[in-house]
Chain A
Amino acid sequence: MQRREFLKTGAGALALAALAPHVLAEAGNPSAAAAVKRPLKRGIMWATVGVKGTVLEKMKAIKEAGFDGVEMMSHMDADEVLRARDATGLLIPSVCGRDHWGKPLTHPDPKVRAEGVEALKQTLRDAKRYGASSVLLVPGVVSKEVAYNEAYERSQAEIRKALPLAQELGVSIAIENVWNHFLLSPLEAARYVDEFNSPAVGWQFDVGNILNYGWPEQWIRILGPRIKVIHIKEFSRKRRDNEGLWKGFEVKLLEGDNNWPAVMKAVDEIGYRGWAITEQGGGDSPEGLKDLVVRLDKILAA
């Protein structure tokens, strides 16, 4: 086993070493950029905006950096959010639930699950007010206490309770792939969505979260039209392998192991024309926000 794994790692490391400079070169090439301009709108996840200030001041910084929109958190002061949105002209394409990690829909205690469903419903209502077409949902968490099959059954049952409201409001529930030890197979993820038999359930695809155990371009093709929103995030397998699992996230966009041309090719193939929203460190200053936009633009032109 050890020998087999070692050989595989060796080959993988070679392939990645060969890839990274190519990605950077292609992304940095203006003529290549002009050739494949994609009409995707550019957003940033609210929780990654680290500049200090009021909601309005933060939204101004986001706007000035060049983003088209922002993915808000649920359970904020909706009036304040709407005023800042209208004052800056930013769009709000999606709302991320506040409680899906703390009160997961897979919790062994049905009371906690019920609170999670209420939070999801509030997130849907926030989305409706903001003009967002979907909400980001972490569907639950597999843990030592919650087995995979329990998470599967409980999360589907709880999400179904929010479906009538989602349909009534015309807001989709977009399930995100996160590091929750759940829905680890793209085939299973597609099946999980399809089992709801509802156009109100789709996927929020996070590119960087996949690299630890798969290839995002494969997920994009398999999930296809189920994808409502795309999160743009980087990951370094090299840092993971040499420094520790979580260090893999400590890398800037375009400097990790995402094969962005392959990712964007898959995005084109499925005809995705929605939002590309960064969920990435570095957004704690106006310059940092601008740098995110520059890198995002390169990715969208990759």
Chain B
Amino acid sequence: MKRNLKKGIWYTSVPGGTVLEKFQAAKAAGFDGVEPPSHLNQEEILRARDETGVAVCSVSCGGPTRDLSHPDAAKRAEAVKSLEQAVREAKRYGAASVLVVPGAVTGQISYAETYQRVQESVRKVVPLAEELGVRLAFENVWNYFLLSPMEAARFVDEFRSPAVRWQFDVGNILNFGWPEHWIRILGPRIQTLHVKEFSRKKRDGEGLWKGFAVEYLEGDNDWPAVMKAVDEIGYTGWATLEPAWVPPDVDPVARLRQISEKLDRIIAI
């Protein structure tokens, strides 16, 4: 492995009944870290982390933060509260950042409203994030928002805070762009990487969402181009797997080892 990237895995993709079992499974499969969602039992996470030596690479607040653009101010306040909680958890876990979904554009919530509301809501959390030294990392997801990499960079910069950055999901871009372009444009704003595959061929031939139903290294990501862009921006943080698809009839423990090996290949590509 020639690149100085750490291997992470999204918590929900790890088999195991208890938190400790999940951390143990991640360790056994060769991962350096786990990305848990916020609002879990903190003591359990800390015990599992300390017993296994597996780090907490980031805390995902992806579910609650979808409401950062909600029309109801009370819902937005709840999302802000959840995000603050996630920031505190990240501090306790020793994680450098929190995954933030920048709201969602919908038929009822316009692009312009989302832009304004998410900025206004997240600004309320920035002081706490700065104080605790935890970064707020916006992720590109399929929420119909920040569809341009130039706009995404501007959106981050408008906070004028080192605590606001980006969590870049490689596979989520392929439907409408090229991840290697995004990586160069976002550059030093990228805090963490989510490693995901996507097939434009399956999207075109079988339906939009079928694009995700593809094995790592068998979709339309140009991984050498992606990793070249990663090198160019000098990124040396986490490469965290967020599998969007599980093949049928595979033992979950064996599968975890499989995708760990896929990640090794991607990092070494």
Q: With A and B bound together, what is the CA distance between A214 and B142 in angstroms?
A: 11
Query: Per-residue CB proximity of A6-31 to B under 8 Å, as 1/0?
Result: 10110000010000000000000000
Is the Cβ of A214 less than 8 Å from the Cβ of B111? yes
Verify A147–B207 contact, CB threshold 8 A: no
How far is it, in angstroms, between the C-alpha of A5 and the C-alpha of B176 when the chains are bound?
16
For residue B214, give the distance in angstroms from its CB to the closest CB of chain A. Answer: 12
Instruction: Enumerate chain B residues within 8 angstroms of A214, measured Cβ to Cβ.
Output: 105, 111, 144, 147
Count chain B CB atoms within 10 A of each CB in A5, A148, A219, A246 and give the residue with the most: A148
The answer to whether B142 touches A8 (Cβ under 8 A) is yes
B151 touches A185 (CB 8 A): yes
Residue from B115, B141, B185, B243 in contact with A4 in the complex, judged by beta carbons closer than 8 Å: B141
User: B144, A5: Cβ atoms under 8 Å?
Assistant: no
Across the interface, do B184 and A2 meet the contact criterion of CB distance under 8 Å? no
How many chain B residues touch A (CB < 8 A): the figure is 43
Q: Does A241 sit within 8 A of B, measured CB to CB? A: yes
Roughly how many angstroms separate A189 CA and B107 CA in the complex, as a whole number? 19
**C-alpha spacing A224/B181, complex, angstroms:** 30
Q: Quick check: is A188 within 8 A (CB to CB) of the other chain?
A: yes
B87 CB to nearest chain A CB (Å): 21
Q: Which residues of B contact A184 (CB under 8 A)?
A: 147-148, 176-177
Q: Are B148 and A244 in contact (CB under 8 A)?
A: no
A147 touches B185 (CB 8 A): yes
Most buried by B among A181, A221, A240, A244: A244
Q: Say if the beta carbon of A152 comes within 8 Å of chain B.
A: yes
Q: Which of B145-160 contact A (CB under 8 A)?
A: 146-151
Q: How far is the CA of A241 from the CA of B207 in the complex (A)?
A: 4
* Given A214-B105, A214-B111, residue A241 in contact with residue B185 (CB < 8 A): no
Q: Is there a chain B Cβ closer than 8 Å to A175's Cβ? A: no
Residue of A nearest to B66 (CB): A4
A188 touches B151 (CB 8 A): yes
A5 to B66: give the CA distance in the assembly, Å: 12
Is the CB of B222 closer than 8 A to any CB of chain A?
A: yes
- Decide: A181 and B177 in contact? CB cutoff 8 A: yes
Q: How large is the interface on A (under 10, 10 to 19, 20 to 34, 35 or more residues)?
A: 35 or more
Q: Are A222 and B112 in contact, with the CB atoms below 8 A?
A: yes
Name A198-251 residues within 8 Å CB distance of B: 213-215, 218-219, 221-222, 240-246
**A1 contacts chain B at the CB level, 8 A cutoff:** yes
Q: Are B208 and A245 in contact (CB under 8 A)?
A: yes
B184: nearest chain-A partner, CB-CB: A147
Residues in chain B near residue A218, CB distance under 8 A: 105, 110-112
Q: Are B207 and A242 in contact (CB under 8 A)?
A: yes
A149 close to chain B: CB less than 8 A: yes
- Which residues on B sit within 8 Å (CB–CB) of A244? 203-208
Contact A185 B111 (CB under 8 A): yes
The answer on a CB contact under 8 Å between B151 and A187 is yes
Q: B242 contacts which of A1, A181, A246 (Cβ < 8 Å)?
A: A1
B107–A185 touching, CB < 8 Å: no
Q: Tell me the complex Cα distance, A22–B26, Å.
A: 50
Please provide the chain B residues from 66 to 123 with a CB less than 8 Å away from any CB of chain A in the complex. Answer: 66, 104-105, 107, 110-112, 115
Q: Is B219 an interface residue (CB 8 A)?
A: no
Shortest Cβ distance from residue B156 to the other chain A in the assembled complex, whole angstroms: 14
Given A185-B151, A215-B110, decide whether A9 and B209 contact each other with a Cβ distance below 8 A: yes
- CB pair A185 B146 closer than 8 Å: yes
B207 and A243 form a contact (CB under 8 A): yes
A178 contacts B by Cβ under 8 Å = no
| Residue contact A240 to B244, C-beta cutoff 8 Å | no
Beyond the given pairs A4-B63, A181-B176, A244-B207, 6 more chain A to chain B contacts, judged by CB atoms under 8 angstroms and listed by A's residue number, are A2-B243, A9-B209, A142-B177, A147-B178, A147-B185, A214-B105
A contact set with B: CB distance below 8 Å? 1-6, 8-9, 15, 142-144, 147-149, 152, 181, 183-188, 213-215, 218-219, 221-222, 240-246, 259
- 10 A-B pairs whose Cβ atoms sit less than 8 Å apart in the complex: A142-B177, A185-B111, A213-B176, A214-B111, A215-B105, A218-B110, A222-B111, A243-B207, A244-B206, A244-B207
